[in-house]
């Protein structure tokens, strides 16, 4: 049973049904959809070192979300907290009405079955071939026969493009193939939530592009909830439905991709454009005077639009590029329509630049409803996904997704 107070839900969220143990779901006509992950007021420290504080966000079910941030801001710590490997000091993580921060070890073990994780290096067993690596979770956590295991493993290997590589050892294949093998292993228990810890790490730009397309294609096929931690701005601009940014021990923003991609927050613009000028320093935060001098010099050169092309996929400017779509022949992403309905409900709560970017992605009938006032305004954070007002400490306030209704 769930512990703690009931949270308000995101506008337009569908009710999710189970999939995590590989059993067929939706037997009563409900569509199988990844579950929502509701994070509220999360704080984590190691001893006296605070990693992040008061992090609040909701991962919408079945959608792809990306979490950005400079190195050392605790993105991987956040992933480990979501799956219960680390325990935060404050806050809650609610999945299927269970707060995993306060639940029992037995219940946490059951919740973990909902997750699949792709680690940075694939985390494959070097002495096992790819087939046995991918079959490992099935043999450890299920009672399936070897014929069933073989069928599932070959299906997942086919999904990630590894047909015919069953007998190869991890040391005999490329880094990109190891990533795909790790992803196949993450898929074998049919998870409802998949976490990607820097999937682009160590890959060249072409392989990153192939991996990004694979992620979108998989989401179209399994409709699970995806969270990707990455530094690759090309990935952040084109793959997700939602974007977030960690900085200075806080979640600066989280919401539809158009919010962050059109944001004028200095730290967001600096990160998305891959430039030196801004609040992020090499090893620590810069002082205010240095940041102001750098920003003045950047403006004198024409700003981001004249900044050229930065590293790791940063392209400069405020453009919102088209989102990747599934490969021809695959089904459309169900999450795309759910997201369209959700952001249409919140359209009039965004600033003008975000509204303009979102409008380009919405079908005419949803735009007509939004413009006609058919949707109620969403409460919370002044109707926005985050607050841009500085708090008493000078830090940007934590992102808060508006939720529907009042406290239950």
Tokens of 330: 């695959």
**In the β-sheet with 90-95, what is the strand arrangement from edge to edge?**
49-59, 37-46, 90-95, 98-99
Report the half-sphere exposure of 230 (CA within 13 A, side-chain side).
31
CA 234, distance to chain mean position in Å, is: 14
Q: What is the pLDDT of residue 21?
A: 37
Residue closest to 59 by CA, chosen among 103, 93, 101, 102: 93
Kind of pairing between the strands at 37-46 and 90-95 = antiparallel
Q: What is the pLDDT of residue 293?
A: 65
* Cα 51 to Cα 47: distance, rounded to the nearest angstrom: 10
Cβ neighbours for 231, distance < 8 A, ≥ 6 positions apart: 68, 71, 198, 200, 312
Residue ranges for the chain with pLDDT beneath 50: 1-30, 306-312, 314, 316, 380-408
What HEC string does 184-226 produce? HHHHCCCCCEEEEECCCCCCCHHHHHHHHHHHHHHHHHHCCEE
* Cα 243 to Cα 65: distance, rounded to the nearest angstrom: 6
The pTM for the full model equals 0.80
Tokens of 360: 């380009």
* Cα 276 to Cα 258: distance, rounded to the nearest angstrom: 23
* Cα 100 to Cα 82: distance, rounded to the nearest angstrom: 8
Q: What is the pLDDT of residue 299?
A: 63
* Cα 153 to Cα 139: distance, rounded to the nearest angstrom: 11
Terminal Cα distance for the chain, rounded: 16
Q: What SS3 state is found at 298? A: helix
Residue closest to 118 by CA, chosen among 24, 260, 247, 214: 214
pLDDT in tens, 185-239: 999 999 999 999 999 888 889 889 999 999 999 999 999 999 999 989 999 999 9
Tokens of 16: 């999710």
* Cα 26 to Cα 34: distance, rounded to the nearest angstrom: 12
Cβ neighbours for 130, distance < 8 A, ≥ 6 positions apart: 124, 157, 162, 165, 166, 167, 168, 169, 170, 173, 181, 184
Q: What SS3 state is found at 377? A: coil
Reported as type and span, the H/E element at residue 52 is strand 49-59
3-state helix, strand, coil in the chain (%, to 5): 35, 15, 50
The single residue listed with the structure tokens 């005077």 is 289
pLDDT in tens, 274-291: 888 778 876 656 566 666
Tokens of 32: 């199988």
Exposed (0-12), middle (13-18) or buried (19+): which is 144, by Cβ within 10 Å? middle
* Cα-based torsion angle of the residue sequence 339, 344, 345, 349 in order, rounded to the nearest 10 degrees: 110
Q: What is the pLDDT of residue 406?
A: 33
């Amino acid at each position: 049973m769930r512990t703690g107070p009931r949270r308000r839900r995101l506008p337009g969220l569908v009710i999710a049904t189970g999939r995590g143990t590989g059993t067929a779901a939706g037997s009563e006509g409900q569509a199988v959809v990844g579950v929502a992950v509701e994070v509220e007021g999360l704080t984590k420290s190691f001893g006296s070192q605070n990693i992040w504080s008061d992090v609040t966000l909701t991962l919408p079910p079945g959608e792809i979300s990306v979490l950005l941030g400079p190195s050392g801001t605790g993105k991987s710590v956040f992933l480990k907290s979501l799956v219960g490997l680390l325990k935060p000091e404050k806050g809650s993580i609610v999945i299927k009405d269970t707060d995993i921060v306060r639940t029992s070890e037995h219940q946490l073990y059951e919740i973990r079955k909902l997750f699949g994780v792709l680690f940075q290096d694939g985390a494959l067993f070097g002495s096992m071939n790819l087939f046995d690596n991918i079959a490992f979770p099935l043999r450890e956590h299920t009672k399936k026969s070897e014929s069933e295991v073989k069928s599932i493993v070959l299906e997942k290997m086919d999904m990630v493009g590894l047909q015919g590589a069953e007998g190869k050892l991890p040391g005999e294949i490329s880094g990109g193939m190891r990533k795909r093998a790790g992803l196949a292993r993450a898929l074998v228990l049919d998870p409802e939530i998949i976490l990607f810890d820097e999937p682009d790490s160590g890959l060249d730009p072409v392989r990153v592009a192939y991996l990004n397309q694979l992620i979108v294609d998989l989401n179209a096929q399994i409709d699970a909830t995806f969270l990707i931690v990455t530094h690759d701005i090309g990935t952040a601009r084109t793959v997700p439905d939602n974007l977030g940014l960690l900085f200075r021990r806080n979640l600066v923003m989280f919401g539809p991709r158009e919010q962050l991609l059109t944001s004028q927050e200095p730290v967001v613009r600096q990160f998305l454009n891959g430039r030196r000028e801004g609040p992020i320093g090499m090893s620590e935060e810069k002082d205010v005077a240095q940041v102001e001098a750098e920003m003045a010099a950047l403006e004198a050169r024409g700003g981001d639009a004249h900044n050229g092309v930065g590293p790791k996929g940063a392209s400069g400017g405020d453009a919102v590029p088209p989102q990747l779509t599934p490969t021809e022949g695959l089904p459309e992403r169900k999450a795309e329509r759910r997201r369209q309905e959700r952001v249409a409900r919140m359209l009039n709560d965004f600033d003008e630049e975000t509204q303009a970017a979102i409008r380009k992605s919405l079908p005419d009938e949803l735009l007509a409803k939004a413009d006609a006032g058919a949707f109620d305004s969403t409460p919370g954070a002044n109707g926005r996904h985050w607050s841009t007002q500085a708090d008493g400490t000078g830090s940007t306030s934590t992102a808060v997704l508006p939720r529907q209704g009042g406290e239950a």
